Amino acid sequence: MEFVKLTEQLVKALVKNPDMVTIKEFETSENNFHHIQVLVDNDDMGVLIGKEGKTAKAIRTIVQASAYINGNKKVKIDIDSF
């Protein structure tokens, strides 16, 4: 999907260890609903979340807008570290 690649580009541009970024998309039973899981290095969590979650919210907003333009209703992005 286009928004998965967009998520990957945005996340890799922000983190210090872009090789450690893993993006997975999960199928859901609901129509037009996509679930994306972003896994980053523990050291990059603070950068990706941002102050008061503003960076993570901005990423979600950009990806959701892209999905909406392409005819998808909802995208859920979970950010976690390993």
Give me the pLDDT at residue 33, please.
Answer: 80
pLDDT in tens, 25-50: 987 776 668 899 999 999 999 999 99
Q: Give the pLDDT of residue 56.
A: 96
Higher pLDDT, 70 or 22: 22
DSSP string across 8-46? HHHHHHH-S-GGG-EEEEE--SSTTEEEEEEEE-GGGHH
pLDDT band at 12 (very low <50, low <70, confident <90, very high): very high
